[in-house]
Amino acid sequence: MNRMPIKSLEELKAIRASQMKKVKLRDHGESDDQQIEILIGMATCGIAAGSREVLNAFIDIIDTENLDHIKVIPVGCMGYCHSEPTVQVNIPGQEPILYGNIHPEDIQNIIHKHIENGELLDDHILIQTFQTIR
């Protein structure tokens, strides 16, 4: 990564504000009843399979598109090591959906097809359940 020197206090403050916004997307704080949660399995098996890249891709897209109603939450093992990286989408009033074998290029579809249009990604669904994995 080629890093440019910071030339002013304002530039440093802008960088800090941008990074703090990304950190807040991963915050574990209380959410309201309309907050959509995306849980990403970040156990050792998930990280080895690429869940860190998936997490970063979600955060980048959510930040770029100002999707303030979506919170990304890194969690531990979801029990589907054979299908890592795993992502659970919790939309209020709907069944949680657990997706497996997710890669950064799948994130746009999860956000735009599933979350925004209610279209499930059948080729990645591991389980539909009323239980939240947490």
Residue closest to 71 by CA, chosen among 100, 92, 42, 99: 92
pTM over 0.85: no
As assigned by CATH, the class of the 34-128 domain is: alpha beta
Chain-centroid distance, C-alpha 63 = 11
Question: Would you list the DSSP string of 79-99?
Answer: S-GGG-S-EEEE-TTS--EEE
Q: Which residue has the tokens 């994130």?
A: 107
pLDDT of 53-104, one tens digit each?
999 999 999 989 999 899 999 999 999 999 999 999 999 999 899 999 999 9
Q: Work out the angle between the directed axes of helices 9-25 and 51-64 (0-180°, nearest 10).
A: 120
Domain boundaries, the chain: 34-128
